[in-house]
Amino acid sequence: MNVQEHTTLRAVILPSGYQLPEEAPTNRLLMDLGHTVLSAANADQAMRILRDDPTDILIVDVTDSAENRRLIDRLGELPAGSRPRELAIFTERGDDRFRKLQASIAPSHVHVFLKPLHMHGLLNVLRRLDTASSESSVA
């Protein structure tokens, strides 16, 4: 019998401008799931955190935040090794430029989730990350 272990993921969250980072529902969800969560108060802080250590998932809420949208554009400036494995973008409306991001920020995988169903999509990404990490630690 093979027992899957839960893997702790390193997540960086940049909530929309009207929320305090530590009070974002995404922050609480990931912490409740046992993941390491670093909240960024602004785009510059998020970039510093990404440069410091490998990050499994970066979650950016671009709702009503021009600064968060600019962070998305700046991710290509990071060396490939400093880019997050997964990028989850929360938005209230579709934006074609988000679909074109994949090539400019490889090897990151880009996921765009429309609110209010964004948490369901995020949980699927976390499940895949957890499964992939568990499989690589068993191999």
pLDDT digits (tens, 9 = 90+) for 42-98: 899 999 999 999 999 999 998 888 888 899 989 999 999 999 999 999 988 877 777
Which pLDDT does position 96 carry in this prediction? 74
What is the per-residue pLDDT for 29?
A: 86
Decide which of 116 and 3 is more confident. 116
What mean pLDDT value characterizes the chain?
Answer: 82
Instruction: Report d(CA 111, CA 90) in Å as an integer.
Output: 9
**Residue 32 burial by Cβ neighbours in a 10 Å radius (0-12, 13-18, 19+):** exposed
- Which of the four pLDDT bands, split at 50, 70 and 90, describes residue 21? low
Topology (CATH) of 10-138: Rossmann fold (3.40.50)
- The domain spans of the chain are 10-138
